[in-house]
Amino acid sequence: MASTVKVSGAYACFVSVAWSPAPRNNCFPQIPQDILPKISAMPDVPKFVGRFPQLRLRRNRRYDWSRRLVRESRLTVDDLILPTFVIEGQNVVEPVPSMPGVSRRTVDRLIDQIREAEDIGIPAIAVFPVTPAGLKTDDGKEATNPDNLICRTLRAIRDANIDIGLIADVALDPYTSHGQDGVLRDGYVANDESLELLAQQAVIQAAAGSNVIAPSDMMDGRVGVIRSALDAAGHESVAIMSYAAKYASAFYGPFRDAVGSAGNLGKADKQTYQMDPANSDEALREVELDIAEGADMVMVKPGMPYLDIVQCVSKTFGVPTFAYQVSGEYAMMSAAADRGWLDRNAVMLESLIAFKRAGADGILTYFALDAARQLTVS
């Protein structure tokens, strides 16, 4: 059978050969051995020449200065986005037990944390509200209240004259009594009915001061609907960072604890709208659709278990690509470090450089402040 093999990265090319198809994956096909010489013979493919003992790759690794000189990927403070949790009240810092070192904060204490992020050079934060149980309803209407917790928080940050980017999450799960990201009808999340609420939510968040709207709901068509609503309301300059490839992952548990939606969701799941972890080609379709609908930036979530998707999206589309190092990833490393099983700073930085190596332009990570401190010192 004649097939076209796409080889990504530095070896980007298309090769037409006869072979039996391997498992599908647009960016990382299984290439039969007899094809490799044909790829190597192509003029645009770099040739690696030399052999031992004339060539010793360890020479460049011998000194700290030489390792830094030939380093292929670099992590800076500019790559970091800090996710934050805001609660009602005054002067409260409430630790999240399943996320060691992470806390929910009232607006006044959150502003203190954001000032620290600004001072150390972190370019942006993402704000997630912890909605009081009494305001949660089946339809999640509190999401469209211009005086809800996140909108008051965004205005307070703006009034504090903090020079930092504000990213606001758009989804209904913080506001629904059932914990789903959209309106529930007969046990199924109603896509088109949810879109109207998501668009309203985006507009009020933009009006409250958000620079970036980040739809995480995974409803079909939501980027286009939100873009149209923002433009119609005069928010043409507000960007959209789409959670374009968001998987139905088991790594979200601590986050749901943090925002108080775990009890609402119960034993239900989100597999009818979030992506199947087994799929990679589908991620490219999702990203392509979101870009076509007006996404300025795209995101892959979770992060470390999906580095192949990060690389595939980055190489395929060449648009600003972000990864979310989610709560479960953070919790695993933090818990192991607390027990002395891992060096916290070392695994933190190693995990973050892996995102850059995969092609991410930035990382949402709960390590942001700690990583920024380490990077500033180094």
- In the chain, count H helices and then E strands: 13, 14
Q: Which two tokens stand for residue 277?
A: 């972890």
Nearest to 140 by CA among 109, 165, 173, 108: 173
Non-local CB neighbours of 94 within 8 Å, separated by 6+ positions: 87, 103, 104, 105
Non-local CB neighbours of 230 within 8 Å, separated by 6+ positions: 202, 203, 206, 213, 236, 238, 240
Residue type present at position 209:
G
Inter-residue long-range contacts of 53-61, CB under 8 Å, 24+ positions, other chains counted: none
Four-residue CA torsion sign, 115, 117, 122, 126: negative
Contact between residue 323 and residue 303 where contact means Cβ atoms under 8 Å apart: yes
Catalytically active residues are 246, 301
What distance in Å separates the CA atoms of residue 226 and residue 232, rounded to the nearest whole number? 10
Four-residue CA torsion sign, 343, 344, 350, 351: positive
Helices (H), the chain: 36-40, 64-69, 107-120, 149-159, 191-208, 222-232, 253-259, 262-265, 281-293, 307-317, 327-338, 344-358, 368-377
Instruction: Find the Cα–Cα–Cα–Cα dihedral 248, 251, 257, 261, rounded to 10°.
Output: 0
Contact between residue 155 and residue 195 where contact means Cβ atoms under 8 Å apart: no
**Judging by DSSP bridges, how do beta strands 103-106 and 93-95 pair with one another?**
antiparallel
